[in-house]
Amino acid sequence: MAYFPSQRIADALAKAGIGLWVEALQHGRIAIVAKIPETVIKALHRGAKASLFIGVMPGDSLRFLCLGLRVNDEPSHPFTLTMSSVSPEDSVLLRTILNTGSATLHCINELDHPVLSAWCKLTPSVARKAGEALGSSDHWLLTPDSGARIAPSEISRKLDLAQTRFEEWIFGSRVLSSNGPAATLPVEIPLALDFWPRQTVIHLSPTLEEAFSIDDEAEGEKLERAVLSVVELLYPERAYRSPRIPEGTGTRELTDVLGFNDDWLCVIQAKALSVLGVADGRSSERRTSAVTKDITKGLKQLAGAMRKIRGSVPIYDAGGTPINIPDRNAPAHGIVLVSEMYSFVDWRAVAVASSDASEKAHMTLIHVFDLRELVSIANSSGATDRFNESLMQRWALVKKKGTAYVRARPRNAADPPPEEDWSQDK
């Protein structure tokens, strides 16, 4: 059994870095679809508890349906995703889920791979009361008639306000129980998950075939293969994993992923945060420390790799075939790619470190971000030249803002100039 998203959900997944949706499936089933970082999905696979948040929150003169998903991947700061919904279809499907107390949960990673699915049971007493409250709610839904009466910018402002209030409730002090917020919303509903058999996703392209599964214990190698699947689309037939250089009587790895064309180089050090190989209950402090050490190490490795690339040392692919880079002194992007831009890292210090590293490197801009960011920039760029321009814009914004904790967002034709295509996460 496997999950295949509808075209509506597939389109939403392609545009969103993270998100939460509901959709009708065959045989009367209804799915909760969550696009979340793979580190969080791994925690679920290991047994982390999860819960669904539902709220109808005021946004000035209107009220909006808000959804949230929490995965207790760590004790102090569990992963929490929120978003609003104005779809009449989603509202009906959600009421059905609440009234029946069941759904399927499908977790999608940064590459839009459906990597984990489960039968999902909602705590009956809480779900049923939430369903009754939602059924009598006066929340705003987008229809041809309702949408024509309010400017899109005003709807967006009100939605943002409602979602902010929803998040304030989630992260504030509150008492929740099956007898708690009886007939009112918002509410948190614990989820009981019965996972489907392990799924293997095959990633295919004209030059690459990779198999991915959520329980792959070679987490570092898996991240490198995921990065390669993105880079080889940007630099077709000129993307390599684990290129090598001579050392002594043998060879050693130059970098994790290398891509190039006639005008640009892209050099990536991938740093996977171990989830499957660590003890449950790892603290925020230990997680922060692990990510910070990975970034520091990655910056040093990038500096060494760029010195070798700029020199005359021979470079080979993993099979020993020479790699011919047209211009070794071409401008380059050096990327330390982490599993997740964990919010508690000192991203201002990271911005300073990446800026300093860029100044010391010859015609190389140094970046630090995660797989979600790489995919977002690659998808919105479409072509290699635009990808390189987008990375330059991101580097300049990090320098201007003084923090590396920024996110790309898809750009539409009516959007503001490129610099405004970036948002700083709160």
**pLDDT at res. 209:** 83
**pLDDT at res. 108:** 96
What SS3 state is found at 426? coil
> Do 190 and 255 belong to one domain?
no
Q: Nearest Cα to 352, choosing from 368, 373, 331, 336?
A: 368
**pLDDT at res. 174:** 66
Instruction: Give the residues across from 118 on adjacent strands.
Output: 105, 195
Structure tokens at 83: 């978003």
**d(Cα 402, Cα 355) in Å, to the nearest integer?**
10
- Assign residue 271 the CATH number of its domain: 3.40.91
> Do 162 and 306 belong to one domain?
no
Q: Nearest Cα to 404, choosing from 412, 414, 395?
A: 395
- Dump strand ranges (E) for 254-389: 257-260, 265-271, 332-338, 364-370
**d(Cα 383, Cα 378) in Å, to the nearest integer?**
8
> Do 277 and 173 belong to one domain?
no
> Do 76 and 225 belong to one domain?
no
> Do 168 and 278 belong to one domain?
no
Q: Which helix (H) or strand (E) element contains residue 96?
A: helix 88-100
> Do 169 and 36 belong to one domain?
yes
* Residues spanned by the domain of 123: 7-195
Measured in Å, how far apart are the chain's first and last C-alpha atoms?
A: 38
> Do 385 and 335 belong to one domain?
yes
**d(Cα 68, Cα 80) in Å, to the nearest integer?**
7
Structure tokens at 232: 């080889």
289 CB-near residues (< 8 Å, 6+ apart): none
**pLDDT at res. 243:** 97
> Do 158 and 274 belong to one domain?
no
Structure tokens at 100: 């029946």
Other Cβ atoms closer than 10 A to 27:
4
Q: Is the peptide bond before 186 cis (omega within 30 degrees of 0)?
A: yes
**d(Cα 411, Cα 298) in Å, to the nearest integer?**
30
Mean pLDDT by 10 residues, the chain (426 residues): 88 93 92 96 95 94 95 92 94 96 96 95 94 93 88 92 95 56 74 93 80 92 96 94 95 97 97 84 88 96 96 94 96 96 95 96 95 94 92 96 86 44 46
> Do 177 and 251 belong to one domain?
no
Question: Which amino acid, 186?
Answer: P
The CA-atom distances, in angstroms, between 261 and each of 146, 236, 250 are: 50, 9, 28
Structurally, how many domains does the chain consist of?
2
> Do 249 and 333 belong to one domain?
yes
**d(Cα 109, Cα 116) in Å, to the nearest integer?**
9
**pLDDT at res. 183:** 38
State the DSSP code for 383: S
> Do 125 and 236 belong to one domain?
no
Q: Is residue 2 part of a domain?
A: no
**d(Cα 110, Cα 38) in Å, to the nearest integer?**
7
> Do 104 and 223 belong to one domain?
no
20 CB-near residues (< 8 Å, 6+ apart): 32, 33, 34, 35, 67, 68, 69, 81, 82, 83
For tokens 């814009």, the residue is 393
**d(Cα 290, Cα 272) in Å, to the nearest integer?**
10
The CA-atom distances, in angstroms, between 30 and each of 5, 23, 93 are: 12, 6, 7
